[in-house]
Amino acid sequence: MNQHDSASERIVITRRDHLELLPWRAPAPTPGEVRVRVAYSAVSFGDVMLRRHVFRDRPPVTVPGYEVVGTVEAAGAGVTSVRPGDKVAAFIEYGGNARHAIVRASDVVLQPTGVDEAQAAATVLNYATALGMLEAARLTRGDDFLIHGATGGVGSATLDTARALGISALGTTRGGKRDLFGARLLDARSPTLVDDVRALSDGGVRAVFDSRAGRGLWASRAMLERGGSLIVFGLSSVAKPGFQAAVGTVGTLASLAIFGVLPGKRSAVFAMDKIYRSDAPRVRAWVARALDLLAAGSVEPIVGVTLPLAQVAEAHRLLEAGEVVGKVVLDCR
């Protein structure tokens, strides 16, 4: 296969809140890397935050997209784990929303035989995150938890994964759905939500997963049984514009600082990108396990909508508006 540069296109955040499909020359992979011809990638709230310049340490040329699902087109020197023609998937920190991506070979997972590539794209980030969060909360078969935003990408993936692992779940949503993957969904706006959760879980759940942040974290903590865990992830509130983001960030940091000195319950932040930077093999293991669950039919990722790569701005709009149940996937072919 061709080891030279390849004509391609990728989505670039050219300025705050602006996404543009631009041509580029996808380079030949260096030692330890592979060049992947991307079939599908996806959109997450991390991409929205990146677009809004919430992250201060983004690269000079910022290409969003945490998922790469496609075919190895070229391999750099020393790569023996995969070869050109192999169908692969990987979590990467930047660069997935493109026709081609340069990926560390050590991050790549072979796609199990027969998996749907669009579903695989809906699996890489969200289901790996679900496995990681369940691990962070120390949940095992027979335990229970609640997740806010249950119909979103990570929310639905966590409910689906929990079902596969024998862990009971509740969820909250603003929509009209009453259950999902066997989990009962509650109205996130109910004034009796904390009492309802405690009643349904015999005094409190073992863990709560919360991406809303801010003052809502106090209600989430009140839903826990003694010794339970509050896991903050995603921080979707800081993706809101201007003053709202500042308030959400300050409220979250203040709440977590106080929780750190209060006895009886644990709290932690789960950030996949930070885990990837410090322990990439751990993330790769979650991705591999998630794809194995997919191949076995144990999980059923929801592809809420699939759009062409060029319509990434619409994908962001749908995600922010909460108009899609499941994952927003991009067709990069």
pLDDT for residue 216: 84
Rounded to two decimals, what is the model's pTM? Answer: 0.91
The pLDDT profile of the chain, 333 residues, written as one tens digit per residue, is 457 788 999 999 998 889 999 999 999 999 999 999 999 999 998 999 899 888 777 888 999 999 999 999 999 999 999 999 999 999 999 999 999 999 999 999 999 999 999 999 999 999 999 999 999 999 999 999 999 999 888 999 999 999 999 999 999 998 767 889 999 999 999 999 999 999 999 999 999 999 876 678 899 999 999 999 999 997 655 555 554 555 556 666 667 777 776 778 998 999 999 999 999 999 999 999 999 999 999 999 999 999 999 999 999 999 988 888 889 999 999
Q: Which CATH number is 6-111+302-331's, of 3.40.50.720, 3.40.1000.10, 3.90.180.10, 3.50.30.10?
A: 3.90.180.10
The distance from CA 161 to its chain's CA centroid, rounded to whole angstroms, is: 13
pLDDT for residue 243: 46
User: So where are the chain's domains?
Assistant: 6-111+302-331, 131-273
CB neighbour burial string for 242-274, b if at least 16 within 10 angstroms, e if fewer: eeebebbbebbeebbeebeeeeebbbbbbbbbe
Q: Which residues, 6 or more positions from 59, have their beta carbon under 8 angstroms from its beta carbon?
A: 94
Q: Which residues, 6 or more positions from 281, have their beta carbon under 8 angstroms from its beta carbon?
A: 106
Beta strands in the chain, from DSSP E residues, in sequence order: 6-15, 18-26, 33-43, 67-75, 87-91, 100-104, 109-110, 144-147, 168-173, 179-180, 183-187, 205-210, 224-233, 266-270, 303-308, 327-331
The class that CATH gives domain 131-273 is alpha beta
Backbone φ and ψ for 202, nearest 5 degrees, come out as 60, 50
